[in-house]
Chain A
Amino acid sequence: MNIQEAEAALREELHRIAPDIDPGDIDREGDLREEFDIDSMDFLNLVTALNKRFGIPIPEPDYPRFASFSGAVAYVAEKVT
């Protein structure tokens, strides 16, 4: 999956969780959870949504790849074939 598609998917899933945050306004390299003000339950829901949508397992040891928005985009682009 290319970067643009991965970013569109992530924006969509993050919008469901944090509808009040505009991804255009965030620091793409900043802490994802802080930028979107999401807690561990929100984060687990994001991971669950991506897992259901793309069938990628996203094991817990991969969570650090979601440290920033751009990191998460790169991860989804890499894992979804």
Chain B
Amino acid sequence: MSEFRMPSLGADMEAGTLVEWLIKPGVPVKRGDIIAVVETQKGAIEIEVFEDGVFERPLVEVGAKVPVGMPLALIGTAGEAPAAAVPPPAAVPKPAPQAPAATARPEAAAPAAAPPVEAGARQKVSPAARQLAQEAGLDLSGIQGTGPSGEIVLADVAAHAGKALPPEGAMTGMRAAIAAAMARSKREIPHFYLAHTVDLTAAEAFVAKYNEGREPADRLLLGALFVKAVAGAAKKYPEFNGHFEDGVFKPSTAVHAGVAINIRGTGLVAPAIHDSDQLQLDALMVAMRDLVIRVRAGRFRASELADPTITVSSLGERGVEALYGIIYPPQVAIVGFGTPVLHAWAADGMVGPRRVVSVTVAGDHRVSDGHRGALFLSAVEDLLLKPEAL
């Protein structure tokens, strides 16, 4: 018998609100199974169990705000008889009303007596929509979703609330989470920055050739090559891949590249693509598409948020030349790709127009320095110049 505790989903997280259990008492679970949904400042996160066993019983009620590290449920060993005397559910404070929302009705946001919800019949809700519903004291079950797969999006809740979207500039939950993490980063991490410009001729030709004759669903984006190149370089230069915790740098043998994904009108998150260095380009592209769809629908997994060992942030096709990132603690590096642009470029003794991209790295001076950073960025360049080897 062991306790399943509220995981930490980022340096800035202190507590999460239990939204629902996706499993019933007595059901066997395997390591990695998603068993609960927790609402955090980053939105609704699916929580995985970390061991094999049997879901004995929940220890907290739906709607409870639970501090990180506090037991959520009991997990029994498979085959073990259920514990005779199970401690009563821990006393947990009801969710506190959001401070800035004068209209919040916490009793409406805490469906403590709600019946268990069948897994699979869940209504998907975007993080921003959930936030607004909570602030307005609205019951989400009465709202029809109009998102891509029927999920409730911000506009649905706003229409239902009969009120305008939050005013421009209001710090929503996700913005507050970003602010906390970035402020901590700027306080604690001595950043150094390096920039380089990389010729994209080979990479773009590779993508165009790959996509020729392929259905749109199977096509590659240049962004997948960027992630793969960074993952390859991170594998080679481990001082840019891992976590700095309690004064010690712990390099990671696996490369879980966090990919910064913009969420319309809400902010951004950078969940991990697990083992990005091991994935072939097509599999990496599938993983990125899947991640973007789930993030925008408001659903991603706890391990995806907690696991990134390095972050990649890419401005995409519409933007400006360069992006200088801020490291997401406890990581030690972030790589920024600007918008690819046409430059007059000297190559093979000639000057001509070439599409190039600015690549930057922010590194943690407690772990590495500019010399190693330059080698790391050069490795990213080498990989992008030989895309067929990616």
Q: Which residues of A approach B to under 8 Å, CB–CB? A: 15-20, 33-34, 37, 39-41, 44-45, 47-48, 51-52, 57-60
Contacts and interface: CB of A to CB of B under 8 A. Distances in A.
27 contacts: A15-B146, A16-B147, A17-B148, A18-B264, A19-B147, A19-B153, A20-B154, A20-B155, A33-B317, A39-B262, A39-B317, A40-B222, A40-B223, A40-B317, A41-B221, A41-B223, A41-B289, A41-B316, A44-B216, A44-B221, A44-B289, A48-B215, A51-B215, A51-B216, A57-B215, A60-B208, A60-B219
Closest 8 CB pairs of A and B: A48-B216, A16-B148, A47-B216, A39-B316, A51-B216, A48-B217, A19-B153, A40-B317
A52 B217 CA distance: 9
A20 B212 contact: no
B264 A37 contact: yes
A20 B264 contact: yes
B155 A41 contact: no
Nearest to A22: B155
A60 B212 contact: yes
A39 to B, nearest CB: 5
A59 B98 CA distance: 49
Q: Which of B147, B154, B219 is most buried by chain A, counting CB atoms within 10 A of its CB? A: B219
Contacts of B182: none
Nearest to B319: A39
A51 B223 CA distance: 22
Contacts, number: 56
Contact of A60 (B154, B211, B264, B288): B211
A44 B219 contact: yes
Interface in B194-233: 208, 211-213, 215-217, 219, 221-223
Contacts of B148: 16-17
B316 A59 contact: no
Contacts of B293: 45
A33 B215 CA distance: 21
B265 interface: yes
Q: Which of A15, A19, A58, A59 is most buried by chain B, counting CB atoms within 10 A of its CB? A: A19
Contacts of B211: 60
A46 B265 CA distance: 20
A48 B221 CA distance: 13
A40 B318 CA distance: 9
A39 B268 CA distance: 14
Interface string B160-201: 000000000000000000000000000000000000000000
A25 B262 CA distance: 23
Nearest to B291: A41
Interface in B231-267: 262, 264-265
A33 B265 CA distance: 16
Given A33-B317, A44-B216, A60-B219, 8 more contacts: A19-B153, A20-B155, A37-B264, A40-B316, A45-B289, A51-B215, A51-B217, A60-B211
A59 B318 CA distance: 21
Interface string B123-148: 00000000000000000000000111
Contacts of B153: 19-20
Contacts of B316: 39-41
B318 A19 contact: no
Contacts of A34: 318
A16 to B, nearest CB: 4
Contacts of A52: 217
Contact of A40 (B155, B212, B221): B221
Interface string B258-288: 0000101100000000000000000000001
